[in-house]
Chains A and B, each alone.
Chain A
């Protein structure tokens, strides 16, 4: 009988590159930047790493396929390296691979590294990929903002929220993240914005304006994991362990069956429920100290507050406007700036979220340090509202 992942694996060290338009570096160098910080933090040598997972989404834009790019960049000692890809949730998948390997007892120390080099495309925004041979023949001609914008119209219709009220609430989501990002020197976007700027920005995909969309960035993030016992034996204090690691995938219900109303993430609710159960959390609104969610777009963050059962259904607009998720609020959200301002190098994002939670739990978050957080949750999503993968991870002091 499976007993779950809770407290079986500890984070030994983490690293994260500066995110942004890294014209000076390719994916290979970014990987090394995140890796060196993580290794120093962990206090281990390369030859102690026994297995590694690499996450990168758009291989044709960054390092190509396979695990070799990581093995070569880090000069790993011919250990197993597996490349994982699960849309924008790829980073959480690399972490899951490393965590499972340690939990299984197959290795003592495993490494997860996510990277994406997006600023070699020649244009802004995410590049468009080839989604196989059938989908291009019938799937809607859309972009990521247009797909996520679908949430807004369905949410308004379901909850009777006016266009103006929803637009103002999602503007507040972005204003809050910019405030947080301004305190993060590794963030891509470090300038605060006003609500007026968000409301009046050029339209990208109705109703999402420029400031409702996250940054498209280069970057890498890395985690080194081991067992709590080994971490202790290495002299580590304030050990942070994995409390839950859940992933839920769409099976076509949202896109083909009329039981889904388009206003929420079916997968996120399933992953969140399972994660709380695995971590032993009964009242998330009370027990979770802080969250890093997949705010690819402001509307995604807003509906996710309900999908994580922190805001009641239909109440996210009010909680957002009340400042519940601000840095000074009850459950600070995107305290590092989130995808919105820290940036979104796709394959790295899930690990970047964990990086911030890890720093906060260890009291090392500098200017943005929250007062003694106990439990951090990351929500890492990939795909589109009607078809996606959703990871929910929870970490905390042991």
Chain B
């Protein structure tokens, strides 16, 4: 460990608004598998049709990054971005690069996808901490998100959730000091997903519990405590994502940690969010931890990663705007299991001929307009001050029309207002009716935007909207997807 203080300077989380009711899931599936009736309790988070690991990572990162209306100016200190997920939308196109572009991070940074195991979120966090410790970046952004696929009626369908979390790791303004980490690497195949496969293949639960978790986790946690010289009794918050009820408490006890200090794994309210889950739980812990407390976070997956943090006095100032707490409060119950199947491609809906349009994307255009399409960057005329979207060579202000005077201007973090809208039942939408309307910005500028996370009857002229980065269209023929910004109710 380097002597300098490094650690987490800010953090954030994102859990999609929809919460699928497990009672509805059980009711739809019990005819086929009566044993799952017992799983029909509580709810799990459910990504909207236009959300994926990338978009959820972007949302979590926006929550983690300091509040700013001008991302182009305020995010220059980030020297690297690590994105962790095992459900990245692209197998060969750097997904972290999409997250980075959506956040308008500088292009001269180091970005990487970290994947392959359920502990990838913590692996990314360790890599970020070590990079700052090594002095090769002042700040590193870590984002993890997952939208894990399961077959209809699988036990995991009940157990999993969708969500993301993000951390800014820094050598200054540290809110939770990095004490140390320890890892083990064991090719224990509790589950796997081969190249080109849509779903995981799972081995017997009892074996995973007894030979996997119960052996590998304590070994790693003990190693961490030994390495850092921290007593088990001094751990105030113990975090371990785990699908087996109470196993986290048993393993804590096995390591000498008071089971009462084991954090709620959000199984009842969210479900396990893959590589992001340890980070979501860490963010949740940091929302409640007091200065001086120690937080131990571990994640299992072909071995185990474990990290220890000591919460500092800066924790109060580092609280996210939404965080896990805010995410838990922002919820809408979903009882339509059929909608879940449709959103996750588990049933083939009759989409009608309007859905046949070819969504081939001109990648040259995507690249040329990348700050516009990924960063929601328009222009601001230097001559008359008019903000406008998109940025063009000639100013739109009828009294100006200055040529080549627009400087990049980001609309991503500005609040918009609905000027006009409609709920359209004709156009093809994965979630009809398709809401869209003219969104105007007080600073100037407007565009006709798709709305998302909106309920029928919930918007009108004057509604306040927040811009969110989402999937715009899928090109199923080519395995591509477009992203752009949409307006969601504040």
Contact = CB atoms under 8 A, between A and B. Distances in A.
B365 interface: yes
Highest count of chain B CB atoms <10 Å: which of A137, A206, A262:
A137
A257 B397 contact: yes
Among B389, B425, B448, B472, which residue has the most Cβ atoms of chain A within 10 A?
Answer: B448
Interface residues of B, number: 54
A154 B419 contact: yes
Interface in B369-389: 369, 372-373, 386, 388-389
Contact of A143 (B396, B427, B449): B427
Given A122-B353, A133-B365, A141 B460 contact: no
B422 A206 contact: yes
Interface string A30-46: 00000000000000000
Contacts, number: 155
B357 A128 contact: yes
A258 B437 contact: no
A252 B390 CA distance: 10
Interface string A132-150: 0110111111110111011
A205 B448 contact: no
Contact of B460 (A123, A143, A153): A153
Contacts of B366: 137
A142 B448 contact: yes
B314 to A, nearest CB: 39
A142 B448 CA distance: 10
B423 interface: yes
B426 interface: yes
B438 to A, nearest CB: 6
**Majority SS of interface residues in chain A?**
loop
Contacts of B418: 153
B472 A138 contact: yes
Interface in A165-200: none
Contact of A125 (B426, B447, B449): B426
A92 interface: no
B446 interface: yes
B448 A255 contact: yes
Nearest to A123: B353
B449 A140 contact: yes
A174 B388 CA distance: 38
Given A138-B472, A154-B419, A256 B353 contact: no
B247 to A, nearest CB: 45
Contacts of A208: 422
Contact of A205 (B419, B423, B450, B472): B423
B437 A153 contact: yes
B190 interface: no
A256 B388 contact: yes
B392 interface: yes
A262 B423 contact: no
Nearest to B441: A258
A67 B354 CA distance: 29
Nearest to A213: B426
Nearest to B459: A153
Contact of A136 (B398, B428, B445, B473): B473
Interface residues of A, number: 47
B82 interface: no
B462 interface: yes
A298 to B, nearest CB: 14
Contact of A157 (B390, B433, B441, B462): B462
Contacts of B226: none
A228 B426 CA distance: 47
Interface in B347-364: 352-354, 357-359, 361-362
Contacts of B433: 203, 205-206
Given A137-B366, A256-B389, A154 B420 contact: yes
Contacts of B181: none
Contacts of A253: 396, 398
B429 A141 contact: yes
Interface string B400-444: 000000000000000000111111111111000110111011001
A138 B471 CA distance: 11
A205 B397 contact: no
Given A154-B461, A258-B444, A137 B361 contact: yes
B339 interface: no
A319 interface: no
Contact of B422 (A122, A149, A255): A149
Contacts of A244: none
Given A123-B354, A142-B424, A146-B424, A261 B419 contact: yes
Given A157-B460, A386-B448, 14 more contacts: A123-B352, A123-B353, A137-B373, A142-B422, A145-B424, A150-B438, A154-B461, A203-B433, A205-B426, A206-B422, A252-B396, A258-B446, A262-B438, A386-B438
14 contacts: A123-B352, A128-B357, A133-B365, A136-B482, A137-B362, A137-B365, A141-B427, A142-B424, A142-B436, A153-B422, A154-B438, A253-B398, A255-B447, A385-B420
